């Protein structure tokens, strides 16, 4: 089931690659991996100007539960003077997914409101992008809580 869900998500992500929009970034689209508190796949595409959409499909597991979720983040990118290729960004979005408890195999729906704050670097002579960010979340279901552990490093191929 997770494989089918991942394939569907990647198909949706690939459809954004067709977009042809002017951008303030040094790339229009980027796809790759996200590693950190949760590991997964990330696709970032321009919405025009300095705005971008970051879609993330990831999974996380600990002693009590595991989850799979899809996040969509609207980001505003800002150049850093004197640092070509380096941007800082902030934004917000949401995540949906499922959470499975290991002790009784029960599954819950997962929904959260997310924020993001980070740095984005595009190598000048290579189609490679690195992002380091903090993505805190307010879980809405199955219970309300604040998750401040959302650190991630993304390595992407740009096109």
**How crowded is the C-beta side of 74, counted as CA atoms within 13 Å?**
7
- Tens of pLDDT along the chain (159 residues) come to 555 444 454 454 444 443 433 345 689 999 999 999 889 999 999 999 999 999 999 998 888 889 899 999 999 999 999 999 999 999 999 999 999 988 888 999 999 999 999 999 999 999 999 999 999 999 999 889 998 988 999 999 999
What is the spatial distance between Cα 106 and Cα 24, in angstroms, rounded to a whole number? 45
Distant-in-sequence, close-in-space partners of 36: CB < 8 Å, separation ≥ 6:
150, 151, 152, 153
| Cβ atoms of residues 135 and 114 within 8 Å | yes
| Cβ atoms of residues 123 and 101 within 8 Å | no
pLDDT given at position 2: 53
pLDDT given at position 63: 82
Q: How many CB atoms lie within 10 A of CB 149?
A: 13
> Which domains does the chain show, CATH number per domain?
2-158 (2.40.160.20)
What is the spatial distance between Cα 147 and Cα 159, in angstroms, rounded to a whole number? 33
pLDDT given at position 21: 37
Taking each continuous run of H as one helix and of E as one strand, the counts in the chain are: 1, 10
């Amino acid at each position: 089931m997770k494989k089918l869900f991942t394939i569907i998500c990647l198909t949706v992500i690939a459809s954004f690659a067709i977009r042809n929009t002017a951008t303030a970034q040094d790339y229009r689209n980027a796809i790759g991996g996200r590693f950190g508190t949760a590991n997964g796949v990330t696709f970032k595409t321009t919405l025009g100007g300095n705005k971008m959409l970051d879609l993330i499909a990831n999974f996380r597991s600990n002693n009590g539960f595991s989850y799979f979720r899809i996040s969509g983040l609207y980001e505003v990118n800002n150049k850093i003077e004197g640092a070509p290729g380096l941007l800082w960004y902030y934004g917000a979005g949401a995540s949906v997914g499922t959470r499975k408890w290991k002790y009784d195999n029960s599954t819950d729906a997962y929904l959260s409101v997310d924020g993001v704050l980070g740095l984005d670097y595009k190598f000048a002579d290579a189609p490679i992008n690195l992002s380091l960010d903090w993505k805190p979340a307010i879980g809405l279901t199955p219970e309300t809580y604040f998750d401040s552990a959302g650190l991630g490093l993304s390595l992407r191929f740009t096109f």
